A and B are shown apart, each in its own frame.
Chain A
């Protein structure tokens, strides 16, 4: 029955695409939500099918995580074809995305047909996958209706990563590290492993990136629900507890970690980690390969997640009796107290060791006592009480429940890393939603509830998590709330410059305020001065020049950090800059993350001194809209 259901849905989708192709042509696909969703889902689940059908391995496990390398191999083949045939990558890569969809369909049919010969195994897997996806679909519907605005982009990271796929696609640049492709990466935090997947989802197939990011945010939880469900099933052997576990894991908004909220390198690393973690037969060689894979997806978070796997392999799997488990729990608890108290006493890695990074950023990146305690408490909200009960019960229990030890370990290590407070410490809270849910669900399932109490507990828990998730997500969206109430990183005023630069592409570097630079770099593939990461001294010099345009301040601007040494640049005067000069709104020049999203202040009149000084360098103003003047 489930086989037939899955095949019917797939055939329905393909029939719809054929109809769309006939009625609207190829161009209609770039804005088609169903097509975008289909591309995303088939691309992100293709490795699972490769693992199952080609390698005869589990649909979720070490092999499925490793199969994500397929995209790198496919890209390598595309480069090879491009070099041999002598055509640019932009003509080859779209076929890669289409090939992924065709391969997915072939493997899907093989998965069902081949298993039919040996019994009805695919029926069981599809049933499990649908069971996993059911709570995730409810979750995504809730997010789409009550939290997100249609076509909203609420992570600047997407725009930043888009610049890499743009450079690969439009400029034929091949890079292993994103910094080799784009100047938006001040530090190399990952390889382009993630960017190739992002490319196959959007840039390489030329779907609308804004719509793609929106749909991606809604589909990521559904894709992630598959490994999550298998993890819960592994530890509870119960469908209802597993579905509850999936839902609770998704309903934790981890500020900074963004577990299943956005598809960015760190959450991609988490997705790979969950697949690897689910594998029952992790041995030393597999663990070494897994470590390399995770680190290549994100140098810091990948390493962090690898360390968790190694701790499981070296320590937890070797705990033999109750006494050792008890001591282990106590060590965890004492370590936790020690590091939290050290933080309260003033210890912080970023304050003591990473002072140079803090100087570049312009401020500390973590909150400190008592705000950090409050912020941390908000991640799970009132659910922390239940987590504490589960932990303490395990400490005094006679049973040595492996899932509880693992999840308790991961939670404690996350907390320790958070309170050690290196820069962006909140990133280390990644996965805390999953492991707190594993701890809680393992604890609750061990109490042997009857059906109705179990049902009531599930409903109440979902309610508790839902409220906290709703509050946290909406608090996060404050930054993206524009002055007209729209919640998105893309403002309607910015569309004018995007359209202009698409119609009039330029090889000159566009220099503007950091936020506009990010929009321009990501949506028009135009070079900018490090986009939103424009250096503080450059921001200061740009502000000084616009405030008082003369040859001296212009020289100051030219000698700023990362400024192009040649004359190949243009200044884009925006409402953001106009407002900054007019109202002395200067916060953005003192902190690298200080950005102004609104671009609404109409430029009433451009300073005559600025026009004259720009004329000195043979640049004349081009009035693009009420919000943009380009000196070219």
Chain B
């Protein structure tokens, strides 16, 4: 009798495993609306409309009520990217960029693809500045074209050449650059300022 129940359980688990395998296989085969190019000095998200989004550490900056304070990663003394690591070091589906500026400031960016349209971006910036209440840390998402940024509830988005790109952040303020090409995200300064936001990329 016990064997009978075990057989049923095995059959159920095999069916469940088949389901997971099919999901995994579909996920693997899905053509994504973005391609992560984690090379050189930035992370580029290539879109099917031939345009791209770029996250560059050198653009990170701190501002208070009087204006610009500093660019903590204007010069870098160490850059590490997992994209060109030989496979002796285990690979994951996540793209990472680790940057150091004289070991005083470090910045880890993680790009985590969720499915064919969504990816999560996490940036952990460790810097050493004197705390001020008005001090904020800014990061920048540069787009390769001039676009019209629109806001809708908690997200900011734009449409360009058949692609809609939305940014949904957690406790993040948005601003748009004067040239209408960059989205600037900011958070109150902390020794470790963490940005976490989702990028939704839908293309026709």
Contact across chains for A386 and B13 when beta carbons are under 8 A apart: yes
Q: Hey, which chain A residues are within 8 Å of B3, CB to CB? A: 447-448
Given contacts A385-B16, A457-B10, contact A593 B24 (CB under 8 A): no
CB contacts (< 8 Å) of A389 on chain B: these are: 9-10, 13
- A595 interfacial contact with B, CB 8 Å: yes
**Residue of A whose beta carbon sits closest to that of B20:** A382
- In the assembled complex, the Cα of A471 lies from the Cα of B25 at a distance in Å of 7
Known: A444-B10, A594-B85. A382 touches B21 (CB 8 A): yes
Minimum CB distance partner of B94 in chain A: A371
What are the interface flags for B19-34 relative to A under an 8 Å C-beta threshold, 1 for contact and 0 otherwise? Answer: 0111011001000000
> Which listed segment binds B: A85-93, A100-108, A227-235, A578-586?
A578-586
Interface string of A595-607 (1 = CB under 8 A from B): 1110000000000
Is B80 engaged at the interface, CB distance under 8 Å to the other chain?
yes
The answer to whether A479 and B20 have CB atoms under 8 Å apart is no
Stretch at the interface among A241-249, A285-293, A458-466: A458-466
Please tell me if A255 contacts chain B, counting CB pairs below 8 Å. Answer: yes
How many residues on chain B are close to A (CB under 8 Å)?
A: 36
Task: State in angstroms the CA–CA spacing of A475 and B24 once bound together.
Answer: 13
Contact B40 A583 (CB under 8 A): yes
Stretch in contact with the other chain, from A46-54, A135-143, A361-369, A492-500: A361-369
Q: Tell me whether A471 and B20 are in contact (CB under 8 A).
A: no
SS class of chain A's interface: helix, strand, loop or mixed? helix
- Say whether B18 faces chain A, with CB atoms less than 8 Å apart: yes
B152 contacts the other chain (Cβ, under 8 Å)?
A: no
- B7/A447 in contact, CB under 8 A: yes
B58 CB, min distance to chain A CBs, angstroms: 11
| Contact in complex: B18, A464 (CB < 8 Å) | yes
Report the Cα distance A475→B83, complex, angstroms. Answer: 12
The answer to whether B17 touches A255 (Cβ under 8 A) is no
Are B88 and A424 in touch, CB under 8 angstroms?
yes
Assess whether A532 is in contact with B86, with CB atoms less than 8 Å apart: yes
Q: Is the CB of B87 within 8 A of A476?
A: yes
A367 near B92 (CB under 8 angstroms)? yes
Q: Which chain B residues in 66-80 approach chain A with CB under 8 Å?
A: 78-80
Contact B10–A447 (Cβ < 8 Å): yes
Closest residue of A by beta carbon distance from B9: A389
Instruction: Tell me the smallest distance from the CB of A395 to a CB of chain B, in Å.
Output: 13
Q: How far is the CA of A367 from the CA of B110 in the complex (A)?
A: 13
Residues in B whose Cβ lies below 8 Å from that of A45: none
Q: Does chain B have a CB within 8 A of A1?
A: no
Set of chain B residues within 8 Å of A186, measured between Cβ atoms: none
Q: Are B16 and A593 in contact (CB under 8 A)?
A: no
In Å, the complex CA distance between A597 and B87 comes to 12
Question: Is A363 touching B80 in the complex (CB atoms < 8 A)?
Answer: yes
Interface bits A49-91 vs B (CB < 8 Å: 1, else 0): 0000000000000000000000000000000000000000000
Nearest CB in chain A to that of B81: its residue: A587
Are A375 and B20 CB-contacts (below 8 A) given A447-B6, A471-B28, A595-B84?
no
Contact with B along A358-400 (1 / 0, CB 8 A): 0000110111000100110000011101100100010000000
A68 CB to nearest chain B CB (Å)? 25
Report how far A536 CA is from B90 CA in the complex, Å.
20
A382 touches B16 (CB 8 A): yes
CB <8 Å contact, B92 and A371: yes
**B84 near A596 (CB under 8 angstroms)?**
yes
Assess whether A256 is interfacial by the CB under 8 Å rule: yes
* B41 interface hit (Cβ, 8 Å): yes
B173 sits at the interface (CB 8 A): no
In angstroms, Cα B90 to Cα A382, docked, is 20
How far does the Cβ of B128 sit from chain A's closest Cβ, in whole Å?
21
Report the separation of the CA atoms of residues A242 and B1 in the bound assembly, to the nearest whole angstrom. Answer: 26
Q: What's the least CB distance linking B32 to chain A, in Å?
A: 14
Q: In the complex, A591→B97 CA distance in Å?
A: 13
Q: Is A435 an interface residue (CB 8 A)?
A: no
In the assembled complex, the CB of B79 is this many whole angstroms from the nearest CB of chain A, namely 5
- Contact at A584–B41, with CB atoms within 8 Å? yes
A263: interface (CB < 8 Å): no
Distance A333 CA – B34 CA, assembled complex (angstroms): 42
**A449 at the A/B interface (Cβ < 8 Å)?**
yes
**Residue contact B18 to A591, C-beta cutoff 8 Å:** no
Q: Is there an interface contact between B10 and A386, defined as CB atoms closer than 8 Å?
A: yes
Tell me how far the C-beta of A322 lies from the nearest C-beta in chain B, rounded to whole angstroms.
16
Give Cα distance in the complex from A424 to B89, angstroms.
7
Within 8 Å of chain A (Cβ to Cβ): is B14? yes
A470: chain B residues at CB < 8 Å are 25
Contact partner of A464 (CB less than 8 A), chosen from B14, B80, B86, is B14
Q: Are B40 and A585 in contact (CB under 8 A)?
A: yes
Give, as a whole number of angstroms, the nearest-CB distance from B77 to chain A.
9
In angstroms, Cα B93 to Cα A591, docked, is 20
Instruction: Note all chain B residues with C-beta closer than 8 A to A381.
Output: 20-21, 24
Say whether A426 faces chain B, with CB atoms less than 8 Å apart. yes
Is there contact, CB below 8 Å, between B91 and A386? no
Does B161 reach chain A (CB closer than 8 Å)? no
CB-based nearest A residue for B7: A447
The distance from the CB of B100 to the nearest CB of chain A, in whole angstroms, is 9
Q: Is B39 an interface residue (CB 8 A)?
A: yes
* Choice from A366, A382, A449, A586 contacting B7 with Cβ under 8 Å: A449
Contacts A447-B10, A464-B21, A479-B86 known; 13 new A-B pairs at CB < 8 A: A255-B90, A363-B80, A382-B18, A382-B20, A448-B3, A449-B7, A457-B14, A460-B17, A471-B25, A532-B86, A587-B81, A593-B88, A594-B86
Please give the residue numbers on chain A whose beta carbons come within 8 Å of chain B beta carbons, in ascending order: 156, 255-256, 362-363, 365-367, 371, 374-375, 381-383, 385-386, 389, 393, 424, 426, 444, 447-449, 453, 457, 460-461, 463-464, 467-468, 470-471, 474-476, 478-479, 532, 583-588, 590-591, 593-597
* 17 CB < 8 A contacts A-B: A256-B88, A371-B92, A371-B94, A382-B21, A385-B13, A444-B10, A457-B14, A460-B14, A467-B24, A471-B24, A474-B28, A478-B91, A479-B86, A585-B41, A594-B81, A595-B84, A597-B84
